[in-house]
């Protein structure tokens, strides 16, 4: 696996002699190293991982195949002194994640080198998942689905959103997750109309929408799952907008295929919602790539310029949000195959009425 | 409170006409805004918070006193078009956190402006805590202490480190924490010799050191607490090194006073441990500032050049780590007052034998 990643990453270097990888998820992707501090130097015939003495043992265990150098001074100084960049004239760095101060340090350490700002080189390679990555994603998704089922058994009017979130986190960890993908979103009633709210002090009530949006990490890979729930009888308006969102969700899943522009995929769902008169109430993008980061390329939005690729894992998550009333969102994780979408999430997409 | 912060921050601008604050904890500190995307522009007579339409309501509620501008294009473009920087020639930016790509964007949007890389301006102001901040820190510490007591009642041989961590996270949230300060560290036996390990699959056993290091966030402020525990009879070696670490901890607490160099404070504990023959086994710094970030200035290490200031909250956390055997760490949160250390952590610092 890793060998093929390296090969693809080296091809993606193009005319660069080397790439300095500073983003931690990208370092993990290429080397396997999970520490909190490091620099991976990838050239066409060398690969060197630089970290500090705290990670001497761990880096040896995790980054097999990589030459490891333990840095006593700064990691950029070590990149130079270790010879990892010997003969390299054109050296790329990850411009979207390196800090300006680190860039200045890099600049001063490598005065004779042509430093090239790059974006998304490793992300582009990591976008297409291999079998091992898919297995980890599936395990993370299975845990979140199991916990979703358990949570349905706990929900009662009077329970606070924050308490539901605490149960989600606890149960995902108990099932073997490393951690949450992100702080669980549990929003109820009018708060469910705020797609970026988390879990608050509000108490659940009967007859209101409750949005549960959470995920967990297994082996570094993240699940991401949303369902909308109602305690007691669901009001007509909630059932109506849920049906529209579900229709839009189905349309998007149908539209998934390698080669479709991401903005067209977004439009497939957005048109359904707009056609039903709620176009202005779908106030976020349709989805995003999923992997070592919860949000990774492609971005699936009206303004995207990306193309959906075979082997990518993406979320499909349309929603409708009515101020004061509340919202509905349905989110699944989907693998892009030659034949279209393969659903990785297996839960029913119907409105859950408890 | 906020008025005094602003006054201090404006004084800290020095000869700068404006500071562009991009670090989220710093934005929260100055404006109260807790969203995930924003830019705060602070000049000597203006204060403008720029964010996007997702945060229209939330920013109005949280950032009172700040002029708010909802950005449709990029936040830097909006900084220009909103007039927030009118008349400003010398504009500081936060060089340690802004990405190189964002810096380039800034550079292209403000061609006529002298951009000045800055470090630690807001962090320096935020280092001294006011009464409201101390109250939040105390609440976070109380929650962690209560949960520590509950966890002691749960620990059994055979329980996995990961399960203990899940209980910590769950219970802190249940007590009202927003989230963990960081993923709980639960390390047992030989793993407790790795100060940077988290919680793994290892099962707790009797007669081994177990290090519990965790904290939680309340109102944005973080607690950080470590104790070492043993199930069953503690072996002699464990009791011995615990006594040395406790002695070093007490020495450091005694040494705390405004004006002491951070490296001298570090030395006060390090000398005790070295004097007992374990100097090479205390493999991290003595402590760090605590507040809106779990790690903030001052860094309390042998190489620090900082001075301990009155009103800062710091951790004191000496440790000894013996490969293959395990480790001991004792960590408290301490307020620096005129009269020396005021302990914010109230738990016993003795070795806990269950």
Mean of pLDDT values over A253-267: 98
Q: A195 and B163: CB-CB below 8 Å?
A: no
Give the model's pLDDT for residue A197: 87
Q: How far apart are CA A240 and CA A257, in angstroms?
A: 29
- Structural domain spans, chain B: 2-126, 131-353
- Shortest Cα–Cα distance, B93 to chain A (Å): 10
Q: Which tens digits make up the pLDDT trace of A213-243?
A: 999 999 999 999 999 999 999 999 999 999 9
Q: Which tens digits make up the pLDDT trace of B29-38?
A: 999 999 989 9
Q: 3.40.720.10, 3.90.230.10, 3.40.50.2300, 3.40.630.10: which CATH number matches A131-353? A: 3.90.230.10
Q: A95 and B117: CB-CB below 8 Å?
A: no
Q: How far apart are CA A302 and CA A315, in angstroms?
A: 15
| ipTM entry | 0.88
Please report, to the nearest 10 degrees, the dihedral formed by the alpha carbons of residues B177, B182, B184, B190 taken in order.
Answer: -160
Give the model's pLDDT for residue A248: 98
Q: How far apart are CA A51 and CA A69, in angstroms?
A: 7
Closest Cα in chain B to A183? B179
**Distance (Å) of CA A64 to CA A30, A32, A38, A49, A67:** 11, 8, 15, 10, 8
Give the model's pLDDT for residue B1: 45
Mean of pLDDT values over A333-338: 98
**Residue given tokens 């049906």 in the structure block:** A243
CB of A105 within 8 Å of any CB in chain B?
A: no
CB of B183 within 8 Å of any CB in chain A?
A: yes
Closest Cα in chain B to A34? B197
Q: How far apart are CA B342 and CA B354, in angstroms?
A: 29
In the predicted model, what is the mean pLDDT of chain B?
A: 95
- Shortest Cα–Cα distance, A203 to chain B (Å): 14
Using a CB-CB cut-off of 8 Å, the residues of chain B touching A104 are: 95, 117
CB of A196 within 8 Å of any CB in chain B?
A: yes
Mean of pLDDT values over A344-349: 96
Per-residue pLDDT for B102 more than 80?
A: yes
Per-residue pLDDT for B247 more than 90?
A: yes
Closest Cα in chain B to A93? B100
Give the model's pLDDT for residue A2: 58
Give the model's pLDDT for residue B2: 58
Out of B56-60, B150-154, B169-173, least confident range: B56-60
| pLDDT > 90 fraction of chain B, expressed in percent and rounded | 92
Closest Cα in chain A to B178? A162
In the predicted model, what is the mean pLDDT of chain A?
A: 95
Mutate to test the interface with B, among A73, A171, A173 (most CBs of B within 10 A): A173
Out of B141-150, B175-184, B310-319, least confident range: B175-184
Q: A195 and B54: CB-CB below 8 Å?
A: yes
- Shortest Cα–Cα distance, A72 to chain B (Å): 13
Using a CB-CB cut-off of 8 Å, the residues of chain A touching B294 are: none
Closest Cα in chain B to A107? B100
How confident is residue B53, by pLDDT bands cut at 50, 70 and 90?
A: confident
Give the model's pLDDT for residue A1: 45
- Shortest Cα–Cα distance, B97 to chain A (Å): 6
Q: Which tens digits make up the pLDDT trace of A110-139?
A: 998 999 999 999 999 999 999 999 999 999
Give the model's pLDDT for residue A290: 97
Q: B99 and A100: CB-CB below 8 Å?
A: yes
- Shortest Cα–Cα distance, A104 to chain B (Å): 9
Q: 1.10.10.920, 3.30.70.260, 3.40.350.10, 3.40.50.620: which CATH number matches A2-125? A: 3.40.350.10
Using a CB-CB cut-off of 8 Å, the residues of chain A touching B173 are: 162-163, 165-166, 169
- Shortest Cα–Cα distance, A194 to chain B (Å): 8
Q: What is the DSSP string of A37-80?
A: S-EEEEESS-EEEEEEGGGHHHHHHH-TTSEEEEESS-HHHHHH
CB of B324 within 8 Å of any CB in chain A?
A: no
Q: Which tens digits make up the pLDDT trace of A323-332?
A: 999 999 999 9
| Residue among A103, A162, A194 whose CB faces B173 most closely | A162
Mean of pLDDT values over B51-55: 87
- Other Cβ atoms closer than 10 A to A157: 13
Using a CB-CB cut-off of 8 Å, the residues of chain A touching B176 are: 162
How confident is residue B73, by pLDDT bands cut at 50, 70 and 90?
A: confident
- Shortest Cα–Cα distance, B99 to chain A (Å): 4
Q: Which tens digits make up the pLDDT trace of A134-165?
A: 999 999 999 999 999 999 999 999 999 999 99
Token reading at A91: 């050296």
| Residue among A53, A104, A173 whose CB faces B165 most closely | A173
Longest dimension (CA), chain B: 70
Q: Which tens digits make up the pLDDT trace of B196-227?
A: 888 999 999 999 999 999 999 999 999 999 99
Q: How far apart are CA A81 and CA A66, in angstroms?
A: 17
| pLDDT > 90 fraction of chain A, expressed in percent and rounded | 92
> Chains A and B: how many Cβ contacts under 8 Å?
86
Closest Cα in chain B to A193? B54
CATH 3.50.50.60 assigned to domain B2-126? The reply is no
Residues 45-64 in B contacting A (C-alpha not used; CB under 8 Å): 53-55, 57-58
| Residue among B53, B100, B165 whose CB faces A95 most closely | B100
CB of B167 within 8 Å of any CB in chain A?
A: yes
Mean of pLDDT values over B303-319: 97
3-state secondary structure of A116: strand
Give the model's pLDDT for residue B74: 87
Q: Which tens digits make up the pLDDT trace of A20-36?
A: 999 999 999 999 999 98
Using a CB-CB cut-off of 8 Å, the residues of chain A touching B179 are: 183
Give the model's pLDDT for residue A54: 81
Q: What is the DSSP letter of A308?
A: -
Q: Which tens digits make up the pLDDT trace of A57-107?
A: 889 989 999 999 999 888 999 999 999 999 999 999 999 999 999 999 999
| Residue among A55, A173, A194 whose CB faces B169 most closely | A173
Mean of pLDDT values over B280-294: 96
Give the model's pLDDT for residue A171: 95
| Residue among B97, B176, B283 whose CB faces A99 most closely | B97
Using a CB-CB cut-off of 8 Å, the residues of chain A touching B143 are: none
CB of B130 within 8 Å of any CB in chain A?
A: no
Q: B101 and A119: CB-CB below 8 Å?
A: yes
CB of A173 within 8 Å of any CB in chain B?
A: yes
- Other Cβ atoms closer than 10 A to A152: 13
Using a CB-CB cut-off of 8 Å, the residues of chain B touching A284 are: 54
Q: How far apart are CA B193 and CA B284, in angstroms?
A: 12
- Shortest Cα–Cα distance, A338 to chain B (Å): 35
CB of B170 within 8 Å of any CB in chain A?
A: yes
**Helix crossing, B236-255 with B262-275: angle to 10°?**
150
A213-239 burial, b if ≥16 CB within 10 A, otherwise e? Answer: bbbbbbebbbbbbbbbbbbeebeeebe
Q: B169 and A170: CB-CB below 8 Å?
A: yes
């Amino acid at each position: 696996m890793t060998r093929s990643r390296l090969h693809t990453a080296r091809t993606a270097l193009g005319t660069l002699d080397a790439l300095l990888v500073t983003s931690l998820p990208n370092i993990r992707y290429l080397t396997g190293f999970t520490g909190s501090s490091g620099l991976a130097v990838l050239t066409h015939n060398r690969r060197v991982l630089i970290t500090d003495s705290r990670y001497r043992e761990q880096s040896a265990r995790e980054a097999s195949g990589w030459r490891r150098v333990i840095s006593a001074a700064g990691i950029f100084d070590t990149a130079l002194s270790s010879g990892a960049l010997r003969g390299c004239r054109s050296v790329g760095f990850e411009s979207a994640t390196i800090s300006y101060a680190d860039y200045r340090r890099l600049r001063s350490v490598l005065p004779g080198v042509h430093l090239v700002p790059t974006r998304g080189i490793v992300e582009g390679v990591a976008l297409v998942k291999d079998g091992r990555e898919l297995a980890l994603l599936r395990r993370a998704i299975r845990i979140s689905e199991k916990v979703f089922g358990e949570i349905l058994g706990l929900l009662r009017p009077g329970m606070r959103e924050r308490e539901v979130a605490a149960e989600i986190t606890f149960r995902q960890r108990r099932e073997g997750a490393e951690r949450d993908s992100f702080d669980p979103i549990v929003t109820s009633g009018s708060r469910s109309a705020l797609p970026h709210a988390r879990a608050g002090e509000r108490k659940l009530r009967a007859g209101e929408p409750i949005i549960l949006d959470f995920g967990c990490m297994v082996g570094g890979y993240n699940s991401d799952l949303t369902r909308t729930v109602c305690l007691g009888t669901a009001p007509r308006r909630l059932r109506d907008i849920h049906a529209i969102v579900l229709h839009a969700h189905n349309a998007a899943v149908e539209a998934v295929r390698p080669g479709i522009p991401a903005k067209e995929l977004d439009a497939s769902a957005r048109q359904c919602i707009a056609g039903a008169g709620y176009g202005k109430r779908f106030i976020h993008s349709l989805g995003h790539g999923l992997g070592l980061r919860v949000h990774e390329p492609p971005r699936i939005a009206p303004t995207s310029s990306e193309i959906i690729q075979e082997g990518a894992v993406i979320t499909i998550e349309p929603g409708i949000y009515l101020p004061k009333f509340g919202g509905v969102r349905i989110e699944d994780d989907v693998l892009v195959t030659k034949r279209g979408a393969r659903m990785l999430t297996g839960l029913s997409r119907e409105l859950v009425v408890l």
